[in-house]
């Protein structure tokens, strides 16, 4: 019997498989950041052991950094201490750091791919659940906790049981104004925020194939929002084209060797998935969320499903979510006033996202009472946006182009949405308080967010393009 | 890690689905660089209002309920991979979390910190809630060796599953690093025999 892509990569990384034990899985690349690593470094010190393979770990500061005046010392004391601690730890243990001020600094899931560190066939982990992003390249990539960060430091391996596999096919052509973000929000709305738990997902089908690498990263990024530890897409010419020539990508003979191997990375025709789901791209419209988990999403022209249609045991939680959001059963979101627009995060902060937004807003001006933050995913994205004049377009539109970091996606730094305010966000989570205590988040695509910035309300972006 | 001992305790009921790790411990409290003290901010925004006053209607502030077992609705621990969520639960004093469904990363993080996540059927979860709402003093027994959780008042018991390796880790207080380190030779051998030079 053939193998799925997940099985091919997984099996190539098993150091030891023993009945009754999880596999010892070899990790090619370990990405770390300031928030989930300090306790792991402490653990090494307590055990008196070094980082086993320091060259296979790359560090950046992203979660807790300001997005204004990054050249100045961080004002908030605890944040500064945490970022300084990363500098100290990486130095002590011999790990490369792309910290504040470094031209490669940025959101960990943006810089890995753009530097050619993320490659097909690799195993990649990071103490961050959105590590699934890297699966877009045909890698096994997943988020881990801090104890596991320490495990990888100590051994370059993880104890991990082989996951079940799920194939999600999206076939057909996407409609105008519909993009990668809408695809993934649509899938999650269909299978719920827990529908992928226990699985690694392989995305396939013509609509997925038609996406750029940036779009594929957006899709894989949100795999965790349906509970799936990871999501991946078999590499193809689009993938190889993206990787070729990047800073740390294989070159010369190594490139040829790599390419020959990467071309074998697909699920065999007779491979068995534990579950297969199929969707039609034509059914997808621009999506928006109305609740407090990413599964609570609807097409922008649809209305909020009534509480009575939810399973009885889940009705109290559903009601609580609508109350938190200030929405009611059966309501349409079209025309709802928006206070903040956040364009950023590891889901949608890449150059393609910024270009798309810039093309849409060029010559337009934001609505008066909306605050708009555009936070690029990395220094390289920021530099390229400036080189292309995107910064000018944003300035004329009244958008603030800030410096790279996770920013208002999780509101760890000072970029918080005030209590009770509505934010259309291109990020990945609409949990209660995620963007700040009592902030109300509506997740959407960069295009839908841009249209909200211009009109000051929730609109169907298709009417504006 | 401490050994997990057989436990008899009351339970704290939290019948809400999809409790994400941002609720368990909001991101703004992740700035600490040690593992201690997160219990103070467990369920911070459900537990305290914007003036840091306890919200009377939240279960952790309700003197009727206490215990070392937290019982929650399905898909507990979804969202972020922050192990701080498991640390907060442990630091607050919980040794067991019961739900009908756990998010993967949280489950692993809990196990790595000696907190036992017990997955029960929807039906048994309802029974636990019914029991504790009828009698907040009701006692429950968790026996990891036997893999059972029992409602002592009725004698009803549920046999839960756990990976045998993780079970022995909890019972003996071992962690994964000790285990993997004992296979270092095999790891080095794996590295040397791998064909893919382009990954180095």
B/e letters for B126-164, b = 16+ CB within 10 Å, e = fewer, are ebbbebbeeebebbbbbebeeeebbbeeeeeebebebee
pLDDT in tens, B133-170: 999 999 999 999 999 999 999 999 999 999 999 999 99
- Closest-CA distance, A150 to chain B, in angstroms, reads 8
Environment class of A351 (CB within 10 Å of its CB; exposed 0-12, middle 13-18, buried 19+): buried
Asked if B23 lies within 8 A of A38 by C-beta distance, the reply is no
In chain B, whose CA is at the least distance from the CA of A195? Answer: B75
Give A81's contacts in chain B (Cβ within 8 Å): 31, 33
Query: How big is the A-B interface in CB pairs under 8 Å?
Result: 193
Helical H segments across A54-179, by residue range: 77-93, 108-114, 146-155
Rounded to whole angstroms, the Cα distance separating B14 from A405 reads 34
Does residue A410 sit at the B interface (CB-CB below 8 Å)?
A: yes
Does residue B41 sit at the A interface (CB-CB below 8 Å)?
A: no
Query: Given strand B116-119, what is the order of strands in its sheet?
Result: B11-14, B69-72, B96-99, B116-119
Q: Provide CB contacts within 8 A for B86, sequence distance 6+.
A: A145, B106, B109, B110, B112, B113, B115
Asked if A119 lies within 8 A of B199 by C-beta distance, the reply is yes
Which 139-178 residues of chain B touch chain A by CB within 8 A? Answer: 163-165, 175-177
Asked if A229 lies within 8 A of B105 by C-beta distance, the reply is yes
Chain B interface, mutation test: which of A139, A146, A221, A243, most B Cβ atoms within 10 Å? Answer: A146
Give the per-residue pLDDT at B198.
Answer: 83
Does residue A144 sit at the B interface (CB-CB below 8 Å)?
A: yes
Does residue B27 sit at the A interface (CB-CB below 8 Å)?
A: yes
- Tens-level pLDDT at each residue, chain A (465 residues): 899 999 999 999 999 999 989 999 999 999 999 999 999 999 999 999 999 999 999 999 999 999 999 999 999 999 999 999 999 999 999 999 999 999 999 999 999 999 999 999 999 999 999 999 999 999 999 999 999 999 999 999 999 999 999 999 999 999 999 999 999 999 999 999 999 999 999 999 999 999 999 999 999 999 999 999 999 999 999 999 999 999 999 999 999 999 999 999 999 999 999 999 999 999 999 999 999 999 999 999 999 999 999 999 899 999 999 999 999 999 999 999 999 999 999 999 999 999 999 999 999 999 999 999 999 999 999 999 999 999 999 999 999 999 999 999 999 999 999 999 999 999 999 999 999 999 999 999 999 999 999 999 999 999 999
Does residue B198 sit at the A interface (CB-CB below 8 Å)?
A: yes
Asked if A145 lies within 8 A of B82 by C-beta distance, the reply is yes
- What is the CA B14 to chain-centroid distance, rounded? 13
Contact present, B76 and B103 (Cβ < 8 Å): yes
pLDDT in tens, B11-40: 999 999 999 999 999 999 999 999 999 999
Give A123's contacts in chain B (Cβ within 8 Å): none
Chain B interface, mutation test: which of A145, A229, A311, A427, most B Cβ atoms within 10 Å? Answer: A145
- Closest-CA distance, B123 to chain A, in angstroms, reads 11
Which 258-317 residues of chain A touch chain B by CB within 8 A? Answer: 258, 261, 293, 295, 313-314, 316-317
Give the per-residue pLDDT at B196.
Answer: 81
Does residue A431 sit at the B interface (CB-CB below 8 Å)?
A: yes
Identify the sign of the CA torsion A407, A193, A316, A425.
positive
Which ipTM was obtained for this model?
0.96
Identify the sign of the CA torsion A263, A269, A274, A277.
positive
Strand stretches in A281-334, DSSP E:
287-289, 297-299
Give B80's contacts in chain A (Cβ within 8 Å): 128-129, 410, 429
Asked if A148 lies within 8 A of B176 by C-beta distance, the reply is yes
Contact present, A415 and B27 (Cβ < 8 Å): no
Which of A15, A122, A313 is the closest to B183 by Cβ? A15
Rounded to whole angstroms, the Cα distance separating A12 from A121 reads 9
Q: pLDDT at residue B2 above 90?
A: no
In chain B, whose CA is at the least distance from the CA of A435? Answer: B27
Strand stretches in A297-339, DSSP E:
297-299
Taking the model in full, what pTM does it have? Answer: 0.97
pLDDT in tens, A55-111: 999 999 999 999 999 999 999 999 999 999 999 999 999 999 999 999 999 999 999
Which of A47, A85, A119 is the closest to B33 by Cβ? A85
**Arithmetic mean of pLDDT, B176-191:** 95
Asked if A410 lies within 8 A of B163 by C-beta distance, the reply is no
- Closest-CA distance, B187 to chain A, in angstroms, reads 6
- What is the CA A30 to chain-centroid distance, rounded? 17
Which 436-465 residues of chain A touch chain B by CB within 8 A? Answer: 437-438
Asked if B165 lies within 8 A of A128 by C-beta distance, the reply is no
């Amino acid at each position: 019997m053939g193998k799925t892509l997940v099985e091919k990569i997984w099996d190539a990384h098993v150091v030891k498989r023993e009945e009754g034990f999880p596999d010892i899985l070899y990790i090619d690349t370990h990405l770390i950041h300031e928030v989930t690593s300090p306790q792991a470094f402490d653990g090494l010190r307590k055990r008196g052991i070094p980082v086993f393979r320091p060259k296979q770990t790359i560090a950046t500061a992203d979660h807790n950094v300001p997005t204004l005046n990054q050249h100045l010392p961080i004002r908030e004391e605890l944040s500064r201490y945490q970022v300084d601690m990363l500098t100290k730890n990486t130095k002590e243990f011999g790990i490369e750091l792309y910290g504040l001020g470094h031209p490669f600094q940025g959101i960990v899931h943006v810089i890995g791919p753009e530097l050619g560190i993320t490659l097909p066939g690799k195993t990649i982990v990071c103490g961050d659940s959105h590590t699934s992003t890297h699966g877009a390249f045909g890698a096994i990539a997943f988020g881990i906790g801090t104890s596991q960060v320490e495990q990888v430091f100590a051994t370059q391996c993880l104890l991990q049981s082989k996951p079940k596999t799920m194939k999600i096919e999206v076939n057909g052509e996407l409609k105008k104004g519909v993009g990668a973000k809408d695809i993934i929000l649509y899938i999650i709305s269909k299978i719920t925020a827990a529908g992928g738990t226990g699985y690694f997902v392989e995305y396939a089908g013509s609509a997925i194939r038609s996406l750029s690498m940036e779009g594929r990263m957006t899709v894989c990024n949100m795999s965790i929002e349906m509970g799936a530890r990871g999501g991946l897409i078999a590499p193809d010419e689009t993938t190889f084209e993206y990787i070729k020539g990047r800073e740390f990508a294989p070159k010369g003979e190594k490139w040829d060797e790599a390419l020959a191997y990467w071309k074998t990375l697909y699920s065999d025709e007779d491979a068995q998935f534990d579950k297969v789901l199929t969707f039609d791209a034509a059914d997808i419209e621009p999506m928006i969320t109305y609740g407090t988990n990413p599964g609570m999403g609807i097409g922008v022209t649809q209305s909020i499903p009534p509480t009575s249609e939810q399973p009885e045991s889940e009705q109290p939680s559903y009601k609580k979510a609508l109350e938190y959001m200030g929405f009611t059963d059966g309501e349409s979101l079209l025309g709802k006033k928006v206070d903040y627009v956040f364009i950023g995060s590891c889901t949608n902060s890449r150059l393609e996202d910024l270009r798309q937004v810039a093309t849409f807003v060029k010559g337009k001006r934001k609505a008066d009472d909306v605050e708009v933050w555009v936070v690029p995913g990395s220094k390289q994205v920021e530099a390229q946006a400036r080189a292309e004049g995107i910064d000018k377009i944003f300035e004329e539109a009244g958008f603030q182009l800030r410096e790279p970091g996770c920013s208002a996606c999780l509101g760890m730094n000072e970029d918080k949405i005030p209590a009770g305010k509505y934010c259309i966000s291109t990020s990945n989570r609409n949990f209660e308080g995620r963007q700040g205590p009592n902030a109300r988040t509506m997740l959407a695509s960069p295009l839908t967010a841009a249209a909200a910035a211009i009109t000051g309300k929730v609109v169907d972006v298709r009417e504006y393009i | 890690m401490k050994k997990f001992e057989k436990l008899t305790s009351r339970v704290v009921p939290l019948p809400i689905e999809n409790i994400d790790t941002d609720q368990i411990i909001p991101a703004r409290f992740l700035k600490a660089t040690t593992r201690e003290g997160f219990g103070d901010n467990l369920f911070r925004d459900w537990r305290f209002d914007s003036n840091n006053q306890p919200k009377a209607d939240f279960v952790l502030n309700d003197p009727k309920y206490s215990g070392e077992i937290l019982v929650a609705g399905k898909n507990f621990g979804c969202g972020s991979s922050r192990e701080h969520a498991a640390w907060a639960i442990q630091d607050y004093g919980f040794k067991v979390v019961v739900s009908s469904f756990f998010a993967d990363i949280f489950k692993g993080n809990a196990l790595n910190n000696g907190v036992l996540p017990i997955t029960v059927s929807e039906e048994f979860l309802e029974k636990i809630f019914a029991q504790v709402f009828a009698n907040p003093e009701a006692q429950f027994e968790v026996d990891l060796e036997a893999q059972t959780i029992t409602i002592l008042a009725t004698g009803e018991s549920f046999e839960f599953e756990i990976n045998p390796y993780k079970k022995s880790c909890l019972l003996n207080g071992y962690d994964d690093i000790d285990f993997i380190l004992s296979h270092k030779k095999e790891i080095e051998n794996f590295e040397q025999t791998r064909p893919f030079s382009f990954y180095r």
